[in-house]
Amino acid sequence: MTARDRSPAALHIVTYNIHKGFSQFNRRMMVHELRERLRHLNPDFVFLQEVQGLHLRHADRHHNWPETPQHEFLAEEVWHATAYGQNVLYDHGHHGNAILSRFPILHAHNQDVTQLKYERRGLLHCRIQLPDARVVHCVCVHLSLFGRSRRRQMAALADYLDQIVDPDAPLIIAGDFNDWRNRAQDLLAERLGLIEVFGGCAGAPVKSFPAVLPVFRLDRIYIRGFHVEQVAVHCGRPWSNLSDHAALSAHLEPVVHRAPDPG
């Protein structure tokens, strides 16, 4: 799909666990190359996990370490609105989730959903205003490695959105679910009316890890209020040089609710 093919109301979104800007097994810093690949995809929204907000040791060790937080470095001059949710804090820095947007972010909130004290997790929620004045709710997630914790986090996500988001409002939830058993599908479909862009209402999400030859279905994009026009998994080279996860992208068109014909 080219820019000419898109309707003015269409959205192109990407979700990507960027592994703190390093290649698999932390062999090389790849944040500069990663920025170029994201710009090549040219999405409207980018949902990022494992974003390095600060790392003093890397800044000392790497001469070309970005002077700004990674989400600001990646967004510079392309995505004019950003939000960052700090989840893990340590003596030399912190990391978390981020959302980059071409359109104004009206409000951002990072909801703490930590279940284990040694595994800090959060849900970054943004309300974003589109050019046609619609507001879409976007949530970037990175869930637990442990099944029981993941189930509680997904329930907390549903509870949170039930309280603050109108059930008919457009909604996008994307990120690293760590859900290789595909337990998220029933809860998110039943509670929030979401579908997964690759698997639909009942199918399996796409394989996204490891990026060199994906085997596990860890990364997801769930939507409400949109039709899926086109999807892609960005794996293999050059993507497998950038992170241990594949990037996922989707082109979406809004669902238009027409008034009933009075005749």
Domains of the chain (ranges; CATH) run 11-254 (3.60.10.10)
Q: CA 78 to CA 80: how far, in whole Å?
A: 6
Chain-centroid distance of CA 215 in Å reads 20
Q: Categorize the per-residue pLDDT at 188 as very low, low, confident or very high, splitting at 50, 70 and 90.
A: confident
Average pLDDT over residues 72-91: 94
Residues whose CB falls within 8 Å of the CB of residue 117, separated by 6 or more in sequence, listed in order? none
134-168 pLDDT, tens digit per residue, is 999 999 999 999 999 999 999 999 999 999 999 99
